[in-house]
A and B are shown apart, each in its own frame.
Chain A
Amino acid sequence: MFKPLTLRTYLLVAALIALALALPHVIDDSYLLHLMILSIIFAIFASAWNLVTGFAGLKTFGHHAFFGIGAYASALLGINLGLSPWLTIWLAAVIAALAGVFIGTPILRIRSMPHVAIVTLAFAEIVRITISNLQGITRGELGLWGIPAFEGFMLPLIGEVVFNPSVKLWYYYLALGLLLLSIGLIALMMRSKVGLAVVAMRDGEDAAESLGINLARFKLLVFGVSAFLVGLAGAFYAHYVSILTPMAAVGPDLIILVIAMVLVGGLGTFSGPIIGAFVLTFLGESLRVLDDYRLLIYGALIILSIMFMPRGLATIGSFFRRRPAEARAD
């Protein structure tokens, strides 16, 4: 993880980006593009949650709070102050990060991870109930609508960039840009000294602290960055779907889905959360006929992936390659 990247990795990433850029011109289908955009939103959310839980080992179950804070903050800034979404998504991400630092400061002193999980989950419920009850501002369960869309503009050589419900193309490219930015930020952080400190902290807090690592500072840093990215994903979501309800933007279903994505894709890997987000978004859509019973399928998937590929789909290649060697070692 801390060795220089190989040419092969660079080429693979470049090929994937090229594929993602070309995709909408191959599948010109509004519904499929919609699923791609949802997958990307979840990929950002899942990658950011993975940063905290997979890389730093902090078991937080309340990250949907930051998704909702980002979504509502960006929407409300747009509606009430008339600010452009191009500005408010960043302001909303900063607000989510501040909320992350605010709630993180007391929580991250707790060394018992089950307690961290419960307290963060409770925090998210408080955020949801607050949004639900602040009807004068958020319209509560009635739903917040009239959220401004991203303004279009002219791009030299390429043409007009427009954002409206019937033209998904530019939403897709914007989401893709935000995803690349998020992954880039996470990868840059994790491959630096910060990443080394964070992984050491996950594998052995006492040992890491005895080697000069300030635990509180690194925990707060990853928590803040993670909340920022989740808030950004939530803000984009608000302007994309253009209607928010407390259950859709801060419901516990969200975090359950994200946890499933990360576990199936690969906890503590770079590509796992992205793979998991795409697999489960498309799977969830094809299982829509099953209604709530599809949660059973998610549950079975999580159990099967933990049993047979504990590091997720992201490591499935090495799983097949390493198998014989490990069998010999036993």
Chain B
Amino acid sequence: MSSPSQQPLLQVEQASMVFGGLVAVKDLSLDLRAGEILALMGPNGAGKTTTFNMIAGALIPTSGRILFEGRDITRMKPDGRCRAGVARTFQITQPFHELSVVENVMVGSMVHHTSLAETRKEALTYVEMVGLGAKAEAPAKQLSTGQRKRLELARAMATRPRLLLMDEVTGGVDQKSIPDLVALVQRLHGEGLTLIIIEHNMRVISELAHRAIFMNRGEKIAEGTPAEIAAHPDVVELYLGEAAHA
């Protein structure tokens, strides 16, 4: 199934993001192969969401380059990147409150259709996929946090991305729903999706991710399999030390 070309799906080359005097991300480089799931880890303020924003186009890096499928997208706007095949979810979910669940997803699927009826039909398949079928016609503002996470996933998938950036897959989701969400992400991955996830739950990371990058203060300090990261001395000190006691 894998393509003969060895070119990575996504390449981040020496990307930095500076806000005034604050260096949020410093000289970050990473390569992502098609079909991989990469986890970004690190304490609050490590630069994970800033990295997402640079890849998704919400921020244009102060220096460095971002290539998607070999094409330079460093200065492309978020809507252009979406059409190029990069989709995202937000750490704090951003449903369109006044629209129904299926209409929210239609916003994602409409680029692929001319008629609203077809847009709705395809959107419904994504609504079903994330398990919100019973809520399809409900206003998005009535959803719980966990349901909003699913809605964001459906909406992003409706744009038919090749790369999906998921900010906090399980953040704010109740414990018993986590296995469902993990299974859903695995299913999407099985259908050919490449993902970068930001996640704090170590069990979720080890179940999902092939590889993890650990960031602190805007810099990559460790890279490897989730198990290697978990054993890395700097990481243990910075991050898991606290978690182990919790």
Contacts and interface: CB of A to CB of B under 8 A. Distances in A.
Interface string A189-232: 00111001101101110111111111100000000000000000
A212 B76 CA distance: 12
B218 interface: no
Nearest to B78: A209
A193 B120 CA distance: 11
Nearest to B82: A212
A212 B111 CA distance: 7
A215 B79 CA distance: 8
B107 A208 contact: yes
Contacts of A204: 94-96
A197 B107 contact: yes
Interface in B84-110: 87-88, 90, 94-99, 103-104, 106-108, 110
Given A193-B116, A193-B119, A210 B88 contact: yes
Nearest to B104: A200
A210 B120 CA distance: 19
A2 interface: yes
Interface residues of B, number: 31
Contacts of B159: 211-212
A202 B103 CA distance: 14
Contacts of B26: none
A196 B104 CA distance: 9
A223 B159 CA distance: 27
Interface string B150-170: 000001101100000000000
Measured as residues with beta carbon below 8 angstroms from the partner, the interface class of chain A is 20 to 34
Given A203-B99, A204-B95, A210 B56 contact: yes
Contacts of B116: 2, 191-193, 196
Contacts of B209: none
A207 B82 contact: no
B106 A2 contact: yes
B79 A209 contact: yes
Nearest to B140: A203
Given A2-B116, A209-B77, A214-B79, A203 B97 contact: yes
A273 B58 CA distance: 35
Given A2-B116, A196-B110, A206-B90, A212 B99 contact: no
Nearest to B112: A212
B98 A199 contact: yes
A2 B103 contact: yes
Contact of B99 (A191, A200, A209): A200
Given A2-B120, A209-B78, A210-B82, 15 more contacts: A2-B116, A193-B110, A196-B110, A197-B107, A199-B99, A203-B96, A203-B98, A207-B95, A207-B96, A208-B96, A208-B107, A209-B77, A211-B107, A212-B82, A212-B83
Of all A-B residue pairs in the complex, the 10 with the closest CB atoms, nearest first, are A203-B96, A212-B82, A207-B94, A204-B94, A209-B78, A200-B107, A211-B108, A212-B111, A200-B96, A214-B79
15 contacts: A1-B99, A193-B110, A196-B99, A197-B110, A199-B98, A204-B94, A206-B78, A207-B94, A210-B78, A210-B90, A211-B79, A211-B108, A212-B111, A213-B79, A268-B98
Interface of A: 1-2, 191-193, 196-197, 199-200, 202-204, 206-215, 268
